[in-house]
Amino acid sequence: MPALCWRRGSGGTDRGGRRLVHFNSSRVDENADFGGNRITTSLYTWWSGPLKLPWEELFLKRSNFYFLARSRPPTPAVLRWREPAAPARLAQVVSALQCWPEVSSTGGMPTSLFGLIPVVLMGMAIKIQEDRLRHQSDYRANTARCRRLVDGVFVDARWTDVQVGDLLKVCNREGIPADLLLVAASEPDPDTLRGACHVETMQLDGETNLKGKSPPGALPGDFGPPVERHLRSIDSEAPDGSPNTYNGTLHIEGRPAVPLTVVNMLLRGSTLRNSEYVLGIVVNTGHDTKVIQGLRAPSHKQSTLLSSINQMIVWIVLLLLVLCLIAGAAELALYHELDLVDHWYMNTQKEEDGVAATFLVNTVYFFLLLSAFVSVTLYVNILLSQKLIQYFMQWSLSMYDPESDTPMRVRNSQLVDELGVISHVFSDKTGTLTQNVMQFRKASIGGIAYGRGTSEIAVARMKRLGELPAGEDVEAGATEGAAAHSPPGGSVISRHVNFDDPALVEALGGSDEQGKRCREFFLHLALCHTVVTEVVYGERSLSASSPDETALVAGAERFGYRFIERHHDTVELQGPDGEPLQYEVLDVLEFSSARRRMSIVVRNSQTRAISLLSKGADTVMLPLLASGQEELVAQTEAHMHDHSNDGLRTLVIASKELSEEEYLSWSERYRRAASDLDEVEKKSREEPNAIDDQCDAMESRMRLLGSTALEDKLQEGVPACIADLVKAGIATWMLTGDKEETAINIAYACELLDSTTTVVVVGLKTHPNVEDITRALREATAAAEESMELSANAQRGRRALVIDGGALGLLFGAAPEAPACQLEFLRFTQTCATVVACRCAPAQKAKLVRLVRRNVRGVSALAIGDGANDVAMIQTAHVGVGISGKEGMLAVNAADFAIAQFRFLREMLLVQGRHNYRRIAVTVYYVFYKNIMFTLVIFWAQFFAAFSGTKWNLEAGNQLYNVLLTMFPILWFSVFDKDVSDETSLALPQLYHLGPGNHFYFNWRATLRWIFQAIYESLAIALLCVFSLDGLSPDGESPGLYLIGACTITLAIVVPNLKLILWFFSWNIWSFVLIGFEVVLWWGVGGVVASEIKPENRGTSGEFIAQFVLGWYKLWGNVNELGTFWLLMLLVPAVVLLPQVFYSFYMRRFHPQFRDLAMECEYHGLPIDALKAWQIPAGQRQRRLVKGAPRPLYQASRFQRLCASLCGSKAKSESARSTATRA
């Protein structure tokens, strides 16, 4: 939460971390002690912004703080080294240097503020614009309207007027103003006021399905306003940010206390659906609501390039200090060597000052003179480039999905360049690689398989195995057959059912045992779910917790059992002959990732028979079946195996008949466990609990009905996208919860695997312990390394690993052998182009990403997913990409980038990412280069001034150099330059390999090359100017330092701007216009400074202004009249730039990179087909592990470990580890 959010105290109502909400008692006024319902997510206000914004810009940015430290006025505070704030006070001393006349190169005036202020203002303007949107959002939320009970009447009120303890009335499709305890919901039958309702939680948890809510079961049937008739208080948990858990106790007059769970709560951020209105009591308001408590500051992800920049700044500053020490020592040596005691005009120090003091003053002086070594606009250049790139990426039509009207979104602009260095892609399957639009395709009922035709995945498998008949379109035939043989249905059925088998229709109409099984099977599908019907724009739709349930209910409807409506505790169906069917819902045993199944207990309203209906994954359902069904189980397993090979998702369907006594006995035990707050708390923490034990007791000895097979087709363009990612040298990992057979066949269909791939399969069945897994991985690694040694062309794409969740559980387990197993896993996977993790739990996805990120050198991981179970993986990776699909927006909200289709990842990485990284890498080098070159010109000039520190340059030019005179051309380059066209980037994915690992665009070799260029060019400018202009006049007079300085600073501005022409690949008129503008602008600045301000016309601020124009009065005209000056304007750029031209020609002619060949082909219009066969060398693909691998997945910070060591307590160490884990 923002630190500036004002919150009221909770008074005496918080007891041991819990809160007590009062009703109908003398303590009701204590509810006012809780905070109001106003929320504030903005970061700045009119009074805090002027204080916080400058602080953040000046002190939290290393580059800006560096310049501020040179220009702040001195402080009278005295250093007290024993205080904790001594480092901060030391920074205050450094900040006063430019105002210290004895060491200042500007006469004691803080002239660096002139260049720093525009940079700070620019950064502040960007933050203000972003915060303005937050203010607008806060205003809309705080001024929304609701109905509040006042003196027995519901009156209109603003959300900010709501207080804890209020009774609110919320109507259909209205937002919930606060966290409410649901006490009543409207029903068609007026006698059932306490009916259930449904809410949409898109804004709360990102999920699109409707969630059922119901009042506490022990409330009186006539409960309604006035609330004082029954309620006394609510003992509620302390506010937290978990939207899926809640525990509290409701105290009712004359009744036992009633436990409360999240099912009884309507949370702020959700929207009421399918009910005319509901009544709710406010429990939490404002910043105590779960949606606001759940807000977290976005994780600060730093790009690889920015991390390298921070390291470079340290080295650049160290180089600056070396130059200052050299200059300080040289001045001291020349002072005695040249006997400069009487040269008062050189401002030399006196001998009586002492050698040490003189050396220190000289060093500090040169530090200020050469301080432009670090660019004041470094971060601004990068920030502006990233922001502009963000807008152009979001406007790109190549990443726009017209079907859903969804453009690509950049949620973290600081990572746009990181898209160019991705080495690993970790992808979810369902909804990411597939459409997540399930279709009921096949079934196994009573040991008989139904459903003909071949799925898309099966077609790919048959093609790979050579089993597809020549010229036959299997998929088209299946679709046409489905339309011909399936009973008619509405749009819901047509979207979610693609079933072709007239035998099933015939069986359903039969009176034999198989017909009875089929009817029972589809009745089961029509009842065992949590689907809700809605009418949207006049069309009936199904809202389900997952697309699987929608397909199953649609399948039941297609074959005669139509789901009509769900009420509070009843389900209405329509039978095959149109007869109405009604079932009473007694209990719902909900699905969870740990249980992997869901069940429902129903009672037939006519026969009063009670049944348990259950469905779930085969791994958990088959062990729960009653004995004596071995043959049926074997037949069903065989059918599921065939369906998995076709890439279909399978579920086991089972049931059990219950007697009244058996159900009542179990129900008593279940409700006792469900009302135990301790057990509810254990269940919320996913710990062993009595509630799950009772569920397990009910879900036992079941009778197998059969299995379903659903098809989830691949998204458009997925195979082509993945094939290009593999060609680009990106390792692609598919992490899915599907069965091994399903996962492997989908991997083949996605081009993750092909016929040349050597697949290593590691599963719990074949490798039941850690030692076996380690041995298998070690052998696979040895075979891969041997293959690389035997063939110089061996590629990582020829190996793949398939590992299941059970083996991953051992890999991440607590066994002593687990670290060795992780090491072998990392070694082998670095030889693989593809890893497929099947039966993978959400927590294991994040662990895999973290394992690779922490232990592989030079890795940059991208995680992409579409659901809530992908959030941890997305947040763990260097770059997170969310797909706005069928499972809501939670993944998108947690991601750094959002796209609508997986295929857009191809454009985002191979085109946008590659261009972004190359351009910003050159931008960073260019900014460092021009500042080093500019500053070294001043340094070389000191050799001709006995290192007296005499300043030649115009101070106005010094301060405008970065913010005005060299900024715009590089900004244009960083956004628009392209070495090859987008089409060529897509046609040759191998171009991408120059980014990952920083082995071409950004590395220490390139850094040194830029620094040597800056040294050479600065030396050429200084020497040519000094020797060309020395003794210029006929009588042998010296032209003066300021005239030489005018020439050097002009060349120091012209040369970097001209040099940028050599780095532009896509030249256009604007490139030359901006470069010419910078040069002309300098001529204008020089003319204004030289003609307008006379030394004697100084006002009250004259001393400050004089430092910017010192020595330039009437100078610029004299400079422009010199023929030698114009000769230097031609000679110097040729001397400094021609060597780079020749070097570039030599490298492209005799040592061309793959990119050079692509550029030549594109420039001359030659075909690039021959280049498409080029493969990335294996040495550039494979990455080394970091020293000490495998590192722990969770590790405390240095500060936490230091605290633990100082305390000398193991408990403290464990606490630090726990803190790091939660973080």
Instruction: State how far the Cα of 1010 lies from the Cα of 1002, in Å rounded to an integer.
Output: 11
Mean pLDDT highest for which of 122-126, 549-553, 1031-1035? 549-553
The catalytic residues are 428
The one-letter code for the residue type at 545 is S
Find the DSSP H helices in 344-403. Answer: 355-369, 378-394
CB 726 within 8 A of CB 713: no
* DSSP tag of 174: P
**Band of residue 240 on the pLDDT scale cut at 50, 70, 90:** confident
For residues 1024-1041, average pLDDT: 72
Find the DSSP H helices in 194-270. Answer: 202-205
For residues 854-878, average pLDDT: 88
Q: So what's the pLDDT on residue 369?
A: 80
Tokens matching residue 973: 């380059």
**Band of residue 341 on the pLDDT scale cut at 50, 70, 90:** low
For residues 1035-1049, average pLDDT: 78
Residue found under tokens 């990284």: 917
- pLDDT of 143 above 80: yes
Q: So what's the pLDDT on residue 1201?
A: 46
Provide the pairing of β-strand 145-150 with 167-171: antiparallel
- pLDDT of 1087 above 90: no
Residues 1109-1156: tens digit of each pLDDT: 556 667 888 888 888 899 999 999 999 999 999 999 999 889 888 898
The one-letter code for the residue type at 40 is T
Q: So what's the pLDDT on residue 447?
A: 92
Chain centroid, CA 354 distance in Å: 58
Mean pLDDT computed over every residue of the chain: 79
* Greater model confidence, 584 or 681: 584
Residue list for the binding site: 428-430, 549, 591, 615, 649, 736-738, 839, 845, 866, 869-870
**Band of residue 592 on the pLDDT scale cut at 50, 70, 90:** confident
Rg (CA), the chain: 36
CB 64 within 8 A of CB 70: no
- pLDDT of 861 above 90: yes
Q: So what's the pLDDT on residue 538?
A: 67
For residues 630-651, average pLDDT: 90
Q: So what's the pLDDT on residue 74?
A: 33
Tokens matching residue 782: 């040895």
CB 347 within 8 A of CB 949: yes
- pLDDT of 853 above 70: yes
Give CA separation, 1020 vs 118, 428, 1013, 1053, 1213, in Å.
32, 56, 10, 14, 59
Q: So what's the pLDDT on residue 238?
A: 85
Give CA separation, 386 vs 133, 303, 862, 917, in Å.
20, 12, 19, 10
Residue 174: count other Cβ atoms within 10 Å of its Cβ: 17
Burial class of residue 308 (count of CB atoms within 10 Å of its CB; 0-12, 13-18, 19+): middle
Lowest mean pLDDT among 89-93, 485-489, 704-708, 770-774: 89-93
* DSSP tag of 946: T
Residues 796-851: tens digit of each pLDDT: 447 899 999 889 999 988 888 888 999 999 999 988 889 999 988 888 999 999 99
For the chain, list the domains and their CATH numbers.
38-160 (no CATH), 162-292 (2.70.150.10), 378-390+914-1174 (no CATH), 409-433+713-899 (3.40.50.1000), 439-458+486-663+701-711 (3.40.1110.10), 1192-1223 (no CATH)
Nearest to 636 by CA among 621, 647, 646: 621
**Band of residue 296 on the pLDDT scale cut at 50, 70, 90:** low
Lowest mean pLDDT among 226-230, 734-738, 1208-1212: 1208-1212
Task: Give the CA count within 13 Å in the CB-facing half-sphere of 504.
Answer: 28
- pLDDT of 224 above 70: no
Provide the pairing of β-strand 145-150 with 14-15: unpaired
Residues 1067-1078: tens digit of each pLDDT: 889 889 999 999
**Band of residue 229 on the pLDDT scale cut at 50, 70, 90:** low
- pLDDT of 586 above 80: yes
* Greater model confidence, 963 or 219: 963
Q: So what's the pLDDT on residue 1014?
A: 94
Note if the bond before 220 is cis, omega within 30 degrees.
no
Q: So what's the pLDDT on residue 1191?
A: 67
The one-letter code for the residue type at 48 is S
Q: So what's the pLDDT on residue 701?
A: 94
Instruction: State how far the Cα of 154 lies from the Cα of 148, in Å rounded to an integer.
Output: 5
The one-letter code for the residue type at 728 is A
Residues 906-922: tens digit of each pLDDT: 999 999 999 999 999 99
Residues 375-424: tens digit of each pLDDT: 777 878 888 899 999 999 999 999 999 988 899 999 888 899 999 999 99
Q: So what's the pLDDT on residue 412?
A: 87
| Exposure string over 941-956, b if 16+ CB within 10 A, otherwise e | bbebebbbbbbbbbbb
Instruction: State how far the Cα of 193 lies from the Cα of 609, in Å rounded to an integer.
Output: 27
* Greater model confidence, 248 or 78: 248
* Greater model confidence, 871 or 179: 179
**Band of residue 651 on the pLDDT scale cut at 50, 70, 90:** very high
Residue 994: count other Cβ atoms within 10 Å of its Cβ: 23
Q: So what's the pLDDT on residue 298?
A: 56
Strand partners, 439: 711
Mean pLDDT highest for which of 343-352, 722-731, 743-752? 722-731
* Greater model confidence, 231 or 76: 231
Residue list for the binding site for Mg(2+): 428, 430, 866, 870
User: Distance from first CA to last CA of the chain, Å, rounded?
Assistant: 15
Instruction: State how far the Cα of 1186 lies from the Cα of 826, in Å rounded to an integer.
Output: 11
Instruction: State how far the Cα of 30 lies from the Cα of 1209, in Å rounded to an integer.
Output: 42
Residues 510-567: tens digit of each pLDDT: 889 999 999 999 999 999 998 888 776 667 778 777 788 889 999 999 998 999 988 7
Q: So what's the pLDDT on residue 376?
A: 73
Sequence length of the chain is 1223
For residues 108-130, average pLDDT: 70
- pLDDT of 450 above 70: yes
Q: So what's the pLDDT on residue 1209?
A: 41
Q: So what's the pLDDT on residue 101?
A: 59
Q: So what's the pLDDT on residue 835?
A: 94
Tokens matching residue 539: 């069309």
Q: So what's the pLDDT on residue 78?
A: 28
* Greater model confidence, 335 or 240: 240
Q: So what's the pLDDT on residue 945?
A: 78
Q: So what's the pLDDT on residue 185?
A: 83
